[in-house]
Chains A and B, each alone.
Chain A
């Protein structure tokens, strides 16, 4: 056993956490962020700024309820506008969190432990932003419960054959399962905070949420299996969610939407945009909270490689769509793709194409994967591009469909813009509160991947 371990050690990669810290160092480092009396100096101004944006969201929704969806730019032929674009944009961002927490867990990618907690939090908040739009875009928000199979005054049930209803189930289940996954992961860390705090009130709050966790192996045994099972069910779930989102389009008969490539293309795009958001957030978080030894350059390097891979996938999808349109021999299908690349919305198409296909190509170069400013700018450009991807899909296909007499050019209104900007307020307000009150790195998981956590680690060296 011991020789096997030594030979393993020779081939071992660099440790995941830099500086070979002790268990206690990890506990201290992460807990103190939450325990500190004062947040870092940018925290409060940032919270002020983003909660103001959140107020704008509230105001925009209030005006929408008062006046109706006419305040938006949606107008025949574009009966779908920014609400759908923003919904798909935010759900997509959520996907990276689940990929990191579930799929990388099943693949035994231990580096995920440094970023999974904050990536899962990002998922939750992104899905919250996404859920705003289907709820408010229905016009009569007070009967939004008609979307659920609840008894209502019409004594009718929802149409289970509609992809829009599949979406209601998919996204809500996704939110619930992500919340469970995130909370289960938090329990041991909440117990750690409960045991450390000197304040009676905090002890009660953390104690209630820690549910009496005591770290015995008889508890860990069930806990680890629960975590594995959650990862196992979250993996097909996350792949299904964006597939179902793509059915909203693919099941229709609109040129440019009615295509079988949509589910994998949407899932790849979702992971692409989500990883870009993870990169944006992690660059800021590791700098502001001095977590460079836990969220290392190797982590950022891996994230940029995922961006490169998924960027190539969406690039393939963009290209093959032209081939499919041509090969189908369908005039409407060919027309819409020519219109996308060279029609009235060509500007949007080429923003999408450049940000999503050209920008990630810089990550072929190692020097680019080491440069924080380059990564930061690229991560933001990618999310700009991914928003435009949804814009191109939703707007162009509707603006010029079968009947030229009804063609139009979509123009958003100020309320479209304010509602969208407002969701960034919701997202970042939630994320800032998360950074302040919840341990942002999974302490128990990070400790578990340190070399000294391996029970064979101490076997060579001091034999007693």
Chain B
């Protein structure tokens, strides 16, 4: 039968396995991201202290490596004596929950609208794209403020705000992919075979769009976390007693000179999470780039 052609991977996981050889795993960023996920999942078990445990006597303890610090509070304490490390770990959970929900909602809504717009074209496409244009011309923070003013600040508000802000991004990109995908011969042949629109969507269009969607989603994690932090910083998002990195930044605003670790370390956590998710997203995109298929 066929002489052995190169074993190209099929399916997403097999795809990863098959192509790791070509690009190499993103060891550093992957591990960092993994740490954040672990912190989010098992936070309560690994945090050395209660994130909300007040202890005014232990307020403003510097990180362990500085003079005056102690190993009990590795990263120091804030103005209320709460352990910074424990709060960072607790904050990871909130950040990832928000990111997960927001990305799933905006991704699903955006992708669906993008697919409909791209596939049907004509009036439908024109109307949807104008809506997208209109929404994208409103600064996202202003939009967030408007929505948050209506809803009371909470975790769900943050998720809703982010979903509403970001769906347009997915819609645009997915629409672009669909525009070229729907011209493929195999889509035309599926129509000739008698397949209905729904079948074409789920058998031919969606799987070929999935890769792009996944890459987009990973690249968005960082953006979403920063956005959430901004909202919480402004008081529109997470409220005490819940912990969020943005909230930590807000609380520590007044103590920058006195206790640098209370604001810098949560900031570093945000930066590292954002950076590692971007790097993993880049790696995913490069790995799935069809031009890398040979050689």
> Is chain B a partner of chain A in the same complex?
no
